[in-house]
Amino acid sequence: MMKVLIVDDQPELRHVLRICLSAAGLEILEAGNGQKALAAVKEHSPEIIILDVMMPDLNGTEVCSRIRQTAPGTSAYIIMLSARAEVTSRVCGLESGADAYLTKPFEPQEIMAQLRVGIRAVESRKSFLTDSLTGILGRRAFDALFGQTIARSHRHKVPLSLAIIDIDNFKVINDAGGHAAGDKVLREFAQLLRAEARDSDLYFRWGGEEFTWLLSDTDLNGARIATERFREKVARHQFPGVGQLTVSIGVAILEELEDGTSLSARADAALYRAKDGGRNRIEFDQPQAPSAITA
């Protein structure tokens, strides 16, 4: 069942919206402020979000921008509500990531029309952004979110780490057990990465046996700890029908004014050094970083 999150600090308006939406056969969630909205997105991953602009703690545009930086926010359809009808307010709301901007007071049929549009959009986005084999975000989602994540890190002056992960000797798995065996490993590997990543992180199947992991608010030391923990986790894991596997990981830390092309190139170069250095290891592309972590 698709979930709709109503975010407004006025209980009366939330009640009206609940009545309007109750006939659509959707699960309805509510949040009374921006912080509670972000927590609800993290816990419930609603597909449609109806978001008030004017709220006491975080305003709707900031909440919308933060939602778009999360994995659930990549495909969510966000309808922004505001009593402010001027063009600048609409532009600000849409530029923060909203899909639609409606002014108060609204007509119930207008909300329902936007809801129907949202349902179609969510279904299309999920199909487009999700890797069909592993069920996690795919390369298209990475391309859509990478630049936004970098911009947020620069804007808020918080660190960001990019790890590119390659399953070692993956061709041997396909050669020995066929592509069905390889596909099973990729699905299980994606679940290991999903379990290891924090809620604030983003992770993707980049293509083939390569995965990317964006570690938000994570500096060099944090990236070292997180990636080493994951390398060890994979090395200990028993993949059914295959046994134990290893990974090579290249990590780069976002530098001041750096763009995504440079960051991904540095992480990719570090990955190749890890593979050339014997695999089952992590290489960092950062001047003050240790040269490598090996098994």
209 is catalytic: yes
Question: Degrees (nearest 5) of the Cα angle 79, 84, 87?
Answer: 85
Separation of alpha carbons 183 and 133, rounded Å: 7
Burial environment of residue 12 by CB neighbours within 10 A (0 to 12, 13 to 18, 19 or more): exposed
Separation of alpha carbons 190 and 213, rounded Å: 11
Point out the catalytic residue in the list 30, 47, 209, 283.
209
Q: Is the backbone of residue 241 left (phi > 0), alpha (psi -120 to 50) or beta?
A: left
Separation of alpha carbons 86 and 228, rounded Å: 51
User: Is there a contact between 134 and 205 (Cβ–Cβ < 8 Å)?
Assistant: yes
Sequence-ordered alpha helix ranges (H) in 157-259:
170-196, 220-236
| Strand-pair category, 100-103 with 77-82 | parallel
User: Is there a contact between 23 and 53 (Cβ–Cβ < 8 Å)?
Assistant: no
User: Is there a contact between 193 and 233 (Cβ–Cβ < 8 Å)?
Assistant: no
Q: Is the backbone of residue 55 left (phi > 0), alpha (psi -120 to 50) or beta?
A: beta
User: Is there a contact between 270 and 279 (Cβ–Cβ < 8 Å)?
Assistant: no
Residue from 99, 108, 101 nearest 78 by CA: 99
Separation of alpha carbons 73 and 95, rounded Å: 15
Token couple for 271: 């990955």
Which residues are known to be catalytic?
209
